[in-house]
Amino acid sequence: MTDIHTQRIVVTGGAGFLGRHLIEELQSRGVPPANLLVPRRRDYDLTHEADVVRMYDDLRPDIVIHLAAEVGGIGANQAQPGRFFYANMAMGLHLLEQARQRPVKKFVQVGTICAYPKFTPVPFREEDIWNGYPEETNAPYGVAKKALLVMVQAYRQQYGLNGIYLLPVNLYGPGDNFDPQTSHVIPALIRKFCEAVDKGAAEVEVWGTGSASREFLYAKDAARAIALAAERYDAPDPVNVGAGFEITIRDLAEKIGAMTGFTGRLVWDPSKPDGQPRRCLDTRRALDQFGFKAEVGFDEGLKRTIDWWRAQQG
């Protein structure tokens, strides 16, 4: 058990989508705002070792929660595979190496479901993570994050660093990235359908065949899981963080279309990749080890996200 209330907590990526929700969650759990430290990229480029050293010297964290990542949907992963591997590997590498040299009491590494093999039996169990190579379109990102699991465990074994590793499923919610070039599937579809409704468009094009399945976790639920793990989990084994359900991309698109009021036709583009065939997590370990279970229902979470996006458009 870690007393998070009296510790200086650095949250890398704390100004990002998940990070903002995590900061709110930690404050709601009684962590004083003065103890929550968010390094900004303009001040510290975490892919550079010298900047990471300076960040630790300046902020003097007791706990590090590493959320910062360079990430995107299938298109972004295909466009920048080298950058996604380097940036994510370099950030974790430097942050962990400096943590073990300092009096850091806990390091929380947030990984990715993209680390799982392409053909993982559903539901994904944590033991399956080494049973194959990740899906090709996001493998560089997934392998970089997967390597950090090895590093966390190795540093625990050799140096006694109390590092834990979480595997969150695809996230969504208010504040998500809606950029057409880099967004994930839910914000991309919400934007497409809302714009189609506004323009009175007769059809919306969607990537792939629609046959792939995904699991989605509301970002506020994910933030609560990370806070609980930071407080209650101290073991080397990776832990899935998800909602424990799956939906096909076709059903997802039809659902978002209906919820946004789109009445036109969906046009599927099978020349674009589907990505990993199926994604759905076994979430029992998170419940057993630190009492996490998703609370926000999928339809409610989608409604909140759609409402948020429409409010941003005025």
For every residue of 162-180, DSSP letters joined together read -EEEEEE-EEE-TT----T
Cα dist from 204 to 60, 76, 175, 266, 269, whole Å: 50, 20, 23, 5, 10
Q: What is d(CA 212, CA 252) in angstroms, rounded to the nearest whole number?
A: 10
Backbone angles phi, psi at 87, to 5 degrees: -65, -45
What are the boundaries of each domain within the chain? Answer: 4-172+217-244+280-295
* Among the four given CATH numbers 3.40.50.720, 3.30.365.10, 3.40.50.300, 3.40.50.20, the one describing domain 4-172+217-244+280-295: 3.40.50.720
pTM as predicted? 0.95
Residue 64 pLDDT: 98
Residue 75 pLDDT: 80
Residue 92 pLDDT: 98
Residue 275 pLDDT: 84
What is the distance, to the nearest Å, from the Cα of residue 57 to the centroid of all Cα atoms in its chain? 27
**Of 44, 56, 116, 141, catalytic:** 141
172 is catalytic: no
Predicted confidence (pLDDT) per residue in 222-258, tens digit: 999 999 999 999 999 999 999 999 999 999 999 999 9
Helix (H) / strand (E) containing 107: strand 106-110
Predicted confidence (pLDDT) per residue in 129-156, tens digit: 999 999 998 899 999 999 999 999 999 9
Question: Exposed, middle or buried: residue 23 (CB in 10 Å: 0-12, 13-18, 19+)?
Answer: buried
Structure tokens at 216: 């989605």
Residue 72 pLDDT: 76
Query: What angle, rounded to 10 degrees, do the helices at 49-59 and 81-100 form?
Result: 40
Residue 183 pLDDT: 86
Identify the segments of the chain with pLDDT beneath 70. none
For every residue of 80-136, DSSP letters joined together read -HHHHHHHHHHHHHHHHHHHHTTT--EEEEE--GGGSBTTPPSSBPGGGGGSSPBPG
In this structure, the strands spanning 247-248 and 213-214 are antiparallel
Q: What is d(CA 196, CA 216) in angstroms, rounded to the nearest whole number?
A: 24
